[in-house]
Amino acid sequence: MKILLILLLTLCLYADHDGKKEHHLSKDLSYLELTSEQKEVAKSIIKQFRVDIKAFREFKGKMEDQKEALLTHEVLNEEDLQKINQAISQKSSAIESHFLLQMHNLLTPEQRQKFAHNLEEWEVE
């Protein structure tokens, strides 16, 4: 029974999706076949990205708290609500753009093609 389960899990990992095989796990760049120099730079880029994401989550939490506070008022000011939503969106967009620019500069054209197929993994939410 255990062997069957392992076999099924293995098959799921290598399943064909839209004619493309999955070559990596979440946020793993091994499928790009980076050079040793690229790996070092990529580690640094990803490390900073994670720091930025952590700070963003804290920022977003504070903004969500402010949004909740607005909802407790007798009258909800739509302009204040939009400012909070814009601040969250702008910060998210800035982090993602900075990361993608750095990765674009690091990767070869062929690697960019592969990386582009997995862009959703790197979206800042």
Q: Exposed/middle/buried for 41, CB within 10 Å: 0-12, 13-18, 19+?
A: middle
β-pair partners for 20: 17
* Mean pLDDT (whole number) for 56-60: 97
pTM: 0.72
**Residue 74 placed within a domain:** yes
- One-letter amino acid at 32 equals L
**Residue 12 placed within a domain:** no
The answer to whether 95 touches 89, Cβ cutoff 8 Å, is: no
Query: Considering its fold, how many domains does the chain have in total?
Result: 1
85 pLDDT above the threshold of 50 = yes
The C-alpha angle with vertex 64 and arms to 59 and 69, in degrees rounded to 5, equals 125
pLDDT in tens, 1-46: 556 445 555 555 545 444 443 333 346 788 899 999 999 999 999 9
Report the CATH number at residue 96: 1.20.120
Q: How many CA atoms lie within 13 A of 34 on its CB side?
A: 16
How much is the pLDDT for 2? Answer: 56
**Residue 8 placed within a domain:** no
Domain residue limits at 78: 30-122
**Residue 90 placed within a domain:** yes
**Residue 25 placed within a domain:** no
Residue 29: CB atoms within 10 Å: 20
Residues, the chain, total? Answer: 125
**Residue 1 placed within a domain:** no
Closest CA to 42 of 100, 109, 97: 100
